[in-house]
Structure 1
Amino acid sequence: MEKARLLNAIIETAIDGIITIDQHGIIESLNPAALKLFGYGLDEVVGHNIKMLMPEPDKGAHDGYLDRYEHTGEKRIIGIGREVRGLRKNGSTFPFRLAVSEVQYKERKIYTGFIHDLSKEKEAEERLREYAAELEELVEERTKSLKKTVVALREAKEEVSLSLEKEK
């Protein structure tokens, strides 16, 4: 009993989102972090298909993913993880790292998704890309300016050389 309470406390206070679904994709639980990420209350999602938290094309394909795994046993995300997008209640999407584990429990399968929000990392990457593009543009402008200066100096040097030769 104490272990169960400890495990529950860990799940409830985890920084990352944790979602469990059954073998048909029906949501069984979400921890507070997952609820916050997706913007739902627990009663709004439990009992519904997990695809409600996905934008297309994953939303339309998810049941097929589960069926394919059930029939082939081929793991494409379970135990591997990947970057995906989530669909919030307000319709916005966000990037996250999804790791999925599978548990056999009381003669049934439960899938647990561990969700790490990548929004801040992606925003930082975008800012770096924009900054790099700005720097590249500045370097290009400076290079053009320097080329013009070099050409102008060569022309001035040639004029001075011609003037000196005429004076001789």
Structure 2
Amino acid sequence: MKFINPQQDPWHRVAGEDGPVSHPVAAPHLLLSLEQWHAVRDTWPAGMPVGVQLANDFDIEDITADLPRLALVALSFPKWVDGRAYSQARLLRSRYRFGGEVRAVGEVLVDMLPLLARTGFDAVQLRPDQSLEAAQRALAFFPAHYQGDVHERRPAFAKGTA
């Protein structure tokens, strides 16, 4: 799991004095809103890394055609008790085989890390009051699982028994 320090993150959002820029100029490592991406996707240079941040109520199926062009999908946790982004991450990894970075942003707590890892997230930006050391320990709490996840299918049945 990669832990994102916002001050050292190469990915950046595009904003002007009045808020987000509606039609950003192409540059590497821009993290765009869905609206910004829709405004520039037809002219975005091939091979230039771009990311998109999605609300947790967004239907992942609506962006599947764009996934090969995206290097990063940031999924939002507006409240730590709202787990819809877990399902989005699992769909990205399992159904749509997205190979780019899947990042958790927003109200991301240390307690969420084991499930974040199991559902397909590979990067997190912790809420500012969360401890990086505690987060790293949380990932080691459960070294094995009975159930499958996006990395390993389980249970593995012998041929002819399922």
Q: Which TM-score band applies after superposition, normalised by the shorter structure? A: under 0.3
Larger radius of gyration: 1
Q: What TM-score results when the alignment is normalised by the length of structure 1?
A: 0.22
Structure with the bigger percentage of strand: 1
The structure with the greater share of residues assigned to helix is: 1
TM-score, structure 2 as length reference:
0.22
